[in-house]
Amino acid sequence: MMNQRAHPLAGASMTGAEMLVQVLADEGVDTIFGYSGGAILPIYDAVFLYNEKHQASMPLIVPANEQGAGFMAAGFARASGKVGVALVTSGPGATNMVTPVRDCMADSVPIVVICGQVPTGAIGTDAFQEAPVPSIMGAVAKHVFLVTDPAKLEATVRTAFEIARTGRPGPVVLDVPKDVQNWKGVFHGSGRLPVAGYRQRMNRVSANKLSDVACAEFFDHLTKSERPLIYAGGGVINGSAAFALREFVQEFHVPVVTTLMGIGAIDTKSPMSMRMLGMHGAAFANYAVEDCDFLLALGARFDDRVAGLPTRFAPKATFIAHLDIDASEIDKVKRVHWSHIGLLPDAILALVDYGKRIAFKRDWSAWHRHCEALRATHAMNYDRNSPLIQPYYVIEEINRLTNGEAIISTGVGQHQMWAAQYFDFRNPRQWLTSGSMGTMGFGLPAAVGAQFAQRNRLVIDIDGDSSIRMNLGEMETVTTYDLPVKVVVMNNCGDGMVKQWQKLFFKGRFSASDKSLHKKDFIKAALADGFPYAVRLDNKADVPRVIDEFIKFAGPAFLEVMIDPDAGVYPMVGPGQSYDEMITGEFINSRHQVVIKSPDASEMF
């Protein structure tokens, strides 16, 4: 066996900061998001020197706030599939990263966060801008490294990337004291930490292939099915398994519902797509789940937004199969009949291969007709005759122009659900949203990160007037780097989703959610931040014209839309309730007589 070629810089003398930056380059990092500060200055200087020598091949993008840097790294990772990188200083710089790190952990997004830290001798003395990063981040990250031995810095950085991208992806935090950054030593150009237990688990997962016996059991039950359905989650996207899912669907013609995080796993324009299920899923998607007799869960976790009442989720399914990379997800919420832990693309393709070998064929045309009838009878709809601008209409117009090809980022709230319901997505990694954490302020910085990841793609942030306020400072980041990001603010003068819940369950008492008296002028703010296009849309007749010019504008563009303040998100399944209790509103047909009831006192938001 030939020896691996030595790194061209192996044996060179470098500072710890220079080693760290070189490893970033070796790992393929081409964009860093971060904010400087005293404890991280050596690494910032090393980035400057690296870019001076390598034609600015690793630009450092500066946000308004470290939280923005974290969400930019997350948007970059979500849109590209690569590891995003954020570089921040100690103390408040690190603590401002807590929310993005937890967000990435909750949605299985690979980022590496590098935090400066006070010198090793000062750790624990409450030194200036010191924070106990391992203690804080250890609770929310996939892994945290505090580097106290400078000789291990190089190997630690490589290991951080390995852990972030392998298995179930997630955020890894590096806490690097300033003296470790300034230390001088020999660069080896190779080597990782001996994390034997982690690698053994990953090797077991990678080597765990679906056997013919397991495949035979799967197809034996699929043969008996009259109404099979695939339930695809975020693991299909994060595990790069969308191509395998599509091959399975093309071969066996099984309809698909996706979670919020699984959007894009199948082309929403496909006849096999039943779109999103769950709390705010399409009525026809939820009814398909009610009617199916065989459910195949792929990279999904039966979370509370999908299986609000697990005992009544997919009530007619006599066989539930579950494929996942994380053993802890199997039987965690709902018991299944057949499962496999392994790499999702490999497992799905193994089923496809076995089905082809046994010439598996089933006529599910009656089920397909049933699904088509569900789509027609219980289609998404709204008050199309209202004189007020309906948010659904705005999204339909944007969707008509973009044809399912745009990258859509969102904040969190009603606008997030409207975007999930009414946009088309032809491919994975076009839908960027904070799912499990539901972090307001995610949309704008994530769109910035996505635009750096996909520089030639149309990136649109669909936001709300409350959500965008959370990270409004990143408006200037868009224009500073002259990014052609399109920002849409659906302005209903308040916390729309909270107000909807208050209407339904708190007798309309808008406690702290009505912002109609706030003085913010978003157009003046956009102009002050340098947006060359900033328009307020408040006349329904102008919607097609204004949206057309907005989307076609060549540079950064900002559009505020004054929408119907009473527009709601429907369908809606209350927390802890089943799909037969789904509220469909006035304009979507329901097949059940539903009495709206308040959630149990123990139920979540």
Catalytic residue among 19, 475, 497, 572: 497
| Amino acid symbol at 450 | A
| Annotation says 129 is catalytic | yes
Angle at 160 (CA atoms; ends 158, 165), nearest 5 degrees:
100
Catalytic residue among 58, 129, 540, 553: 129
Closest CA to 445 of 121, 12, 62, 123: 62
Beta carbons within 8 Å of 315's beta carbon, 6+ residues apart: 290, 578
| Annotation says 162 is catalytic | no
What is the H or E stretch that residue 354 is in?
helix 344-357
Asked whether the bond before 100 is cis by omega within 30 degrees of 0, the reply is: no
Report residue 545 as tokens.
């014209």
Can you say whether residue 9 is alpha, beta or left, with left for phi > 0 and alpha for psi between -120 and 50 degrees?
Answer: alpha
Total Cβ atoms within 10 A of residue 49: 13
Catalytic residue among 18, 19, 27, 66: 66
Catalytic residue among 72, 82, 130, 178: 178
| Annotation says 178 is catalytic | yes
| Annotation says 247 is catalytic | no
Q: Nearest 5°: phi and psi at 463?
A: -130, 170
What is the H or E stretch that residue 487 is in?
strand 486-491
Total Cβ atoms within 10 A of residue 508: 9
Q: Whole-angstrom Cα distance, residue 237 to residue 2?
A: 36
Q: Whole-angstrom Cα distance, residue 244 to residue 236?
A: 9
Q: Whole-angstrom Cα distance, residue 351 to residue 395?
A: 37
| Annotation says 593 is catalytic | no
Beta-bridged to residue 84, according to DSSP, are: 111
Q: Whole-angstrom Cα distance, residue 71 to residue 126?
A: 28
Report residue 113 as tokens.
């966060």
- By annotation, the residues acting in catalysis are 66, 128-129, 178, 497
